Structure 1
Amino acid sequence: MRLGIFAKTFPSADPAGVLAAVRQAGYETTQFNLACAGLPSMPDAVPADAVEAIRAAARSSGVSLAALSGTYNMAHPDKAVRDDGLKRLAAVVDAAAALGIPLVTLCTGSRNASDQWAHHHDNATPAAWSDMAAEMEKALALAEKACVDLGIEPEQANIVTSAGDAKRLIAQMGSKNLKIVLDPANLFEHATPDEARAIVAAAIDEAAGHIAMAHAKDRHGDGRFATAGQGVVDFPDFVARLKAVGFDGALVTHGLSADEAPSVAAFLRGLA
């Protein structure tokens, strides 16, 4: 299991500086974001010199690129907004292919027009699912052509809220290029440690065989997000269960400050 961190944890538009900081903090891989190369996270295009700068930074730092962020609101109520997001995703997928990055991470979206990470009461409607699924079909066509996988992350405020939802979508799409990114802190909102452990365990069992990446973010029982190891998620149990179902990919932490990164690396390395 490779230990990683979100590249955006280290605020810079210089890929070499960002990946050097990732390595110095104790991580061997990263989920990269094009903002770390001085571009929008979802640009219209990725210039060849930006691709080369990222490639050179990965080579010089020894940090592998486990995934590239391609998140946009796949369930936005305005089709024109979804169409623009898909166009930008194409540029991200092409960049991932050029860099040899195996996974592009997505957001299954929300009917909330102003925030793709915010809940909306229409998220559970058949129409919202249908719009998201239609978008996913188009995204998968891009990914399959580029030989890149797409990763969907169950989130309580999005259309796909659970491992069960994710498996339903994978079955509906019928594509080997659609995978799951599993973040234990996004599987519940309020829970005791025992409840959180049971929810996470059930999700791992259901998602087994489809998990491309695991995230390491924590949550307090009252719903507030926390740095890994500071909340109610049982990380020793989480990592042990991932190993038990054969997961051997990247465990990527986020939701922490750059100052916290070394201590979180030490904590997770002791488990992974």
Structure 2
Amino acid sequence: MQIGFFTSTLHDRPLSDVLDFAAEVGFDAVELDAGRHVREPERVADAVAAAKKLGLAVSSIAVVGNQLDPDRTKREAFRATTAAYCEASAAAGVPIVILFPGYDPSMSEDDNYADFAAHAQTLLADTQDSGLQLALENWPGPDNRFIGTTPAGLKKLFAAIPDTRFGIEFDPSHFVRLGIDHMRAYDEVADRVKMLHAKDTSIDKEVLQQVGYHGENWWRYRLPGRGLIDWPAFIAKVRQHGFDGTIAIEHEDADYGWPRGDWYARIKGETEALNFLRELMTP
């Protein structure tokens, strides 16, 4: 299993700095943030080449945004950009492009699923010869309404997109804050898992008692090992299912400088998370 990290946490530094850091501390791979570190589809090949020169694999490119943007003009423009990233990634040998399905409140839930499924199938058809895989991250979105972020929603989406080149970048932290057993969820979607995100979640039960699930500040994302997830058990679970791909750290832990704090605090967080995972995975 390779260990990488999602470069979004180091969004304010040029890609060269990010790659130098990754190689220096011993990461195997990077998950590139398309908007912040690739910038445009035409630069995918150069970004991949720069990573490879330092001995790093590019596990994936994440195209962050709402694929179901309610503004139809913005939706079509973003989907065209997404398609260009898919084409460029396939040409550069990047195995996975990460998408966020999003949500359009002007449409019914069924129509949201059908619309995104049709879009994803077009992307798959256009890259069929390359073997490029697509994966959604199960982030519920800024208002907790994104589709395909629960076991039921994922099953619905996978039924609508039978091509097994489409799957999930499984992030257990999101399930934890939604009150969903991430271990059971993994069992239910294991055959569609393309990548893992290493991120944890902590819950302040006293705050939760006062404000309830619809309140604020009762949960927060943490680096792996600093929240509620039993990482040895989770790693054992994914191995049991035969997963041997990339696990990418997604650093969103405010104790280590996220989102715009000190550079050294942020890379300390990335490094400590890398060491934590390495120790878990060492026989």
TM-score, structure 1 as length reference:
0.83
Indicate if the aligned counterparts of 1:123 and 1:159 stay in contact, CA closer than 8 A.
Answer: no
The answer for the alignment partner of 1:111 in structure 2 is: 104
Which amino acid in structure 1 is aligned with residue 165 of structure 2? N
Structure 1 stretches lacking a partner, 5+ long: 113-121
Flag the 1:171–1:52 CA change in 2: closer, same or farther, 3 A.
closer
Selected match of 1:186 from 162, 174, 196:
174
**Residue in 2 that maps onto 1:100:** 93
| Partner Cα separation in structure 2 for residue 155 and residue 60 of structure 1 | 32
Deviation at 1:101, TM superposition (A): 0.5
Match of 1:265 in 2: 274
Counterpart residue type for residue 224 of structure 2: A
Q: TM-score, normalised by structure 2?
A: 0.80
**What is the SS of the residue equivalent to 2:194?**
strand
Matched residue, 1:217: 199
Identity of aligned residues (%): 26
CA contact (8 A) 1:5 1:29 kept: yes
How far apart are residue 93 of structure 1 and its match? 0.8
Higher helix share: 2
RMSD: 2.3
- Match in the other structure for 1:118: none
Shift of 1:130: 2.7
Preserved CA contact (<8 Å) 2:173 2:200: yes
Query: Are 1:166 and 2:148 counterparts?
Result: no
SS of residue matched to 1:97 = helix
1:241 aligns with 2:268: no
Which residue number in structure 1 is paired with residue 82 of structure 2? 89
What displacement does 1:168 show? Answer: 2.5
Aligned pairs, how many? Answer: 250
Alignment equivalent of 2:125, drawn from 141, 144, 152: 141
- The AA in structure 1 aligned to 2:59 is A
Amino acid at match of 1:168: K
1: distance between equivalents of 2:279 and 2:49?
Answer: 30
| Equivalent in the alignment of 1:126 | 110
Q: For 1:137-183, what per-residue CA distance to the aligned partner results, in whole angstroms no more than 9, with x for missing partners?
A: 33323332543110012233211122342233122122122021100
Cα offsets for 1:244-268 (capped at 9, x unmatched): 1111110111124222111111101
